[in-house]
Amino acid sequence: SGGILEAKKIAAIAEAHYAQIAPHLYCGPIEGAANIQIDTCSPNFLIQESIETFGGFHAEILKEPIRWEDGYIIPPTAPGLGVELDEKVAAEHPYTGEKLHLEMQDQPV
């Protein structure tokens, strides 16, 4: 189970109860792109949680980064999730299983 279809079903259940959705993001820009697809087709979408503006490594690992304008995400228009992984950048940063790609900060920003 899981994925975009299940998230869409959950959003529909929330909508039937007059609840809004705010998809959470922690796993990076590919999950972010999937969330953006859910956001754009859910009438009860409120806000997309994100890791800042998908900058740094999150922008580098995509051939074209997720775009922002005046604090809003601009949904990609390319096929599928709308983003393309840069395989070369991904190969240069293999997951070793030793730690998360992001480390928690002692103090919130």
CATH topology of domain 3-92: TIM Barrel (3.20.20)
Q: Is the pLDDT of residue 21 over 70?
A: yes
Per-domain residue ranges for the chain? 3-92
Rounded CA-CA distance 45/69 in Å is: 18
The amino acid that residue 87 corresponds to is E
Confidence of residue 1 (pLDDT cuts 50, 70, 90): low
In eight-state DSSP terms, residue 56 is: T
Which one is predicted more confidently, 99 or 44?
Answer: 44
The reported pLDDT for the residue numbered 50 is 84
The residues near 53 (Cβ < 8 Å, ≥ 6 apart) are 66, 68
How buried is 108 (Cβ within 10 angstroms: 0-12 exposed, 13-18 middle, 19+ buried)?
Answer: exposed
What pLDDT, on the 0 to 100 scale, is given for residue 103? 67
Q: Which pTM value belongs to this model?
A: 0.82
Confidence of residue 75 (pLDDT cuts 50, 70, 90): very high
Q: What is the pLDDT of residue 53?
A: 81
Question: How far is Cα 63 from Cα 88, in angstroms, rounded to an integer?
Answer: 10
Query: Per residue in 22-69, pLDDT tens?
Result: 998 877 899 999 999 999 999 999 999 887 788 888 899 999 999 999
Average pLDDT of the chain to the nearest whole number: 89
Q: Which two tokens stand for residue 71?
A: 């604090």
